[in-house]
A and B are shown apart, each in its own frame.
Chain A
C-alpha cells in the first residue's frame, strides 16, 4: 500500500518536467556555469599578475606552480555543503509541488479512496527524499566537473585518495546534508497540509529556517543566554554541525561541550519527526471536500 503510493507519486513526478528541472537540475547547471566562468576569470587574472614585472618572484612561483588536487577530498567537502540555501530553495520547489499539488489541482478526491491517508503522505515524503538525493547527487557531479575544470585551467595534477577518513567524511557530510534538507521539506509538508497552499509549502520552511538560524542570537538581547543545548534545540542546524564535528573527530569534536551528542541527535529527531507527526495527524482528520 505504501509502495503503491510511492510508485504513483514517483510516476507523477517523473511527468512533471518543470518541477524536475528546477528542483534537480537547475542548481547543478548553474554551479557548473558559474564555476567555469570563475575559473577562467581567475586564470586570466593570475596570468596577468604573473606577467607583471612588479609581482614578487615568490608569489609568481606560487601562482604558476600548479600542484595536486585531490578529487576525493574535494567531493567529501562538497558533500558536507549540500544543504546550502540554493540547493534547499530549489529542492523545496519540487517538494512544495508534490505536497501541495493535490490541493492546487483538486485531485485529493481522485486518490483519497484508493489508499490510506497516512500512506498518501508518506508516499509523497519518500519521493521527496529521493528527489532530494537526486538533487544532491547532481550537485556532486557539478562539484566534480568544477574541480576537473580547475585542474585543467590551472595545470593541477589530479589525485584520488578515498582513504578511511575521506570516505567517512563524505558519507557523514552527505547523510547530514540529506537530513537537513528533509527537515526543511517536512516543515513544508506540515505547511502544505495546514494551509493547502503551494507558496506556504515553499516559504514557511525558509522563514522558519532563517528564524532558527538567528534565534539563539536573538535570545541574548532578551536577557536569555542560551547554552549549547538550548541553542541546538532552537537551531537544528547547530545540532547538525555538532553531529558533523563528532563524525569528523579531531579538534572540532574536542571543542564541543561534554555530553552534547545525544542532545544534538534529540534536536535533529524533534525537528525531523515533529513536523511529520503533526502533518499526519492534521491530514488524518482534514476535510478534503474543498481542496
Chain B
C-alpha cells in the first residue's frame, strides 16, 4: 500500500494546549479518505502541518513521499483549508489565473473547464468581493484542483453550500477519486456525507487517532440482517437469543454466511419475507462512541 501521507509521532502544542499528540497516521494512495473529529480534535492542525503552514512541535510528516515544505512534493498537492478567501478586487477567473501562475502552470491550466466543473461559469468575471460563502467554497475547490494534483486536501468542502451544491460537490469528489485517480483527503462534520463519499476514515479526538479503517469494515461491525416479515413472533421464536424486534421488523444477529440458510429456512416454514437487508452501525454511532469514550487528561486528573 503506497502512502501519500505519513505522520509519525506528530505533535503540535500551542502554549499549554496540545492540538496533536503523537499522531501516527498513514493515508494510502487512491480513494477518498475522511478525517473526522469534534472541534479541537486536531484535524485543521494536521492539515496545516501537511500544507507547511505551521511546523510541528515534534514528530514527522511526509507528503507524497517527501518532507513537508519541499515544494516539488507540495506542488503535486492541492488544498482548501476552511472557507477560502481571495483578493477582493479580482474576478474568479483572475484568481485562478493568478494561482496557476504561482504554481508554475500558468499556460497549461484550462481555467474555463475548472470554473465549469465547480459551477462558476456564469460568475467567472464577477469580482469575488460579492461572492457568497458557497461560491467562495466552489472557487477554493477549483483552485485546489486546477493544477491536476495527485493529492487533494479539502477542509469542510461543503461548508456554506446549499443541498444541490453539496450533491454536486459529493459527485465531484467521487469522480476525482474514481475517474481521475486523485487521492482526496477531506475533513467534514457531516458524517452522513463522509459515509457516502469516503472509502476510509480516521477519527481523531484530543489530538490522537482513536479509530481508523475502511468505512465498509467499520460499519460492518455489529452488522445484522433486518427482516421485514408478516409473522414476526414466529421469526423471533426461531432466532431465539439472536433475534431482536425493531418495529415491524426483526433484526437477526447472525454472520453474513448464515444469511441465505436462514432465509431459506424461514421461507420453508411459510414466513412471508417482504424485505431482507444487512444493516450495520453507521459512522455517526461510531463517531460518538469513539469520541465520547476518550477521557480528557483533565478528567483523568480530576478523577
A interface vs B, CB < 8 Å?
1, 4-5, 7-8, 11-12, 15-18, 101, 105-116, 285, 287-289
Chain B residue at minimum C-beta to C-beta distance from A3: B104
Are A114 and B90 closer than 8 Å at their CB atoms?
A: no
Are A106 and B85 closer than 8 Å at their CB atoms?
A: yes
Contact A8 to B85, CB < 8 A, known contacts A113-B75, A289-B48, A289-B53: no
Find A113's partner among B77, B90, B104 (CB 8 Å cutoff). Answer: B77
Contact A288 to B53, CB < 8 A, known contacts A109-B81, A114-B102: yes
Count of chain B residues with Cβ under 8 Å from any Cβ of A? Answer: 32
Cα–Cα, bound, A201→B71 (Å): 28
Cα–Cα, bound, A106→B86 (Å): 7
Are A109 and B51 closer than 8 Å at their CB atoms?
A: yes
Closest CB-CB distance, B259 to chain A, in whole Å? 48
When A and B form their complex, what is the total count of cross-chain residue pairs whose Cβ atoms lie within 8 Å?
86
- For A109, the chain B residues whose CB sits under 8 A away are 51, 53, 79, 81, 84
With an 8 A cutoff between CB atoms, is B87 at the interface? yes
Closest CB-CB distance, A16 to chain B, in whole Å? 5
Cα–Cα, bound, A16→B99 (Å): 15
With an 8 A cutoff between CB atoms, is B98 at the interface? yes
- For A113, the chain B residues whose CB sits under 8 A away are 51-52, 71, 74-75, 77, 79
Are A8 and B89 closer than 8 Å at their CB atoms?
A: no
Are A8 and B98 closer than 8 Å at their CB atoms?
A: yes
With an 8 A cutoff between CB atoms, is B101 at the interface? yes
Q: List 20 A-B contacts (CB under 8 A).
A: A1-B71, A1-B104, A4-B101, A4-B102, A7-B106, A11-B97, A11-B98, A11-B101, A18-B89, A105-B85, A105-B88, A109-B53, A109-B84, A111-B102, A112-B51, A114-B75, A114-B102, A116-B71, A285-B55, A289-B48
- For B98, the chain A residues whose CB sits under 8 A away are 8, 11-12, 15
Q: Which of B48, B53, B90, B147 has the most CB of A within 10 A?
A: B53
B interface vs A, CB < 8 Å?
44-45, 48, 51-55, 71, 74-75, 77, 79, 81, 84-90, 94, 97-99, 101-104, 106, 143, 147
Chain B residue at minimum C-beta to C-beta distance from A116: B71
Are A101 and B101 closer than 8 Å at their CB atoms?
A: no
- For A108, the chain B residues whose CB sits under 8 A away are 53
- For A115, the chain B residues whose CB sits under 8 A away are 71, 102-104
- For A4, the chain B residues whose CB sits under 8 A away are 101-104, 106
Cα–Cα, bound, A17→B103 (Å): 24
Are A101 and B87 closer than 8 Å at their CB atoms?
A: yes
Q: Which of B51, B98, B104 has the most CB of A within 10 A?
A: B98
Chain A residue at minimum C-beta to C-beta distance from B49: A289
Are A111 and B71 closer than 8 Å at their CB atoms?
A: no
Cα–Cα, bound, A115→B52 (Å): 11
Cα–Cα, bound, A287→B56 (Å): 10
Cα–Cα, bound, A259→B196 (Å): 77
Find B143's partner among A1, A101, A110, A116 (CB 8 Å cutoff). Answer: A110
Cα–Cα, bound, A287→B13 (Å): 13
Q: Which of A106, A111, A113, A114 has the most CB of B within 10 A?
A: A113
Closest 9 CB pairs of A and B: A8-B102, A8-B101, A288-B53, A4-B104, A113-B74, A114-B103, A106-B85, A289-B48, A114-B102
Are A105 and B87 closer than 8 Å at their CB atoms?
A: yes
Cα–Cα, bound, A285→B98 (Å): 25
Closest CB-CB distance, B144 to chain A, in whole Å? 9
Closest CB-CB distance, B64 to chain A, in whole Å? 11
- For B75, the chain A residues whose CB sits under 8 A away are 113-114
Contact A16 to B71, CB < 8 A, known contacts A112-B51, A113-B79: no
14 further interface pairs, Cβ-Cβ under 8 Å (given A4-B103, A109-B84, A114-B104): A4-B101, A8-B98, A8-B102, A15-B98, A16-B87, A101-B87, A105-B86, A105-B88, A109-B81, A111-B99, A111-B102, A112-B53, A113-B71, A287-B55
- For B52, the chain A residues whose CB sits under 8 A away are 112-113
Closest CB-CB distance, B101 to chain A, in whole Å? 4
- For B88, the chain A residues whose CB sits under 8 A away are 105
- For A106, the chain B residues whose CB sits under 8 A away are 85
Cα–Cα, bound, A109→B147 (Å): 16
Are A107 and B53 closer than 8 Å at their CB atoms?
A: no
- For B106, the chain A residues whose CB sits under 8 A away are 4, 7-8
Chain B residue at minimum C-beta to C-beta distance from A288: B53
Chain A residue at minimum C-beta to C-beta distance from B84: A110
Cα–Cα, bound, A163→B101 (Å): 44
Cα–Cα, bound, A181→B220 (Å): 67
Closest CB-CB distance, A104 to chain B, in whole Å? 9
- For A114, the chain B residues whose CB sits under 8 A away are 71, 74-75, 99, 102-104, 147
Cα–Cα, bound, A114→B84 (Å): 16
Find B85's partner among A107, A112, A288 (CB 8 Å cutoff). Answer: A107
Are A287 and B54 closer than 8 Å at their CB atoms?
A: yes
Cα–Cα, bound, A192→B74 (Å): 25
Closest CB-CB distance, B89 to chain A, in whole Å? 5
Cα–Cα, bound, A11→B97 (Å): 8
Closest CB-CB distance, B30 to chain A, in whole Å? 21
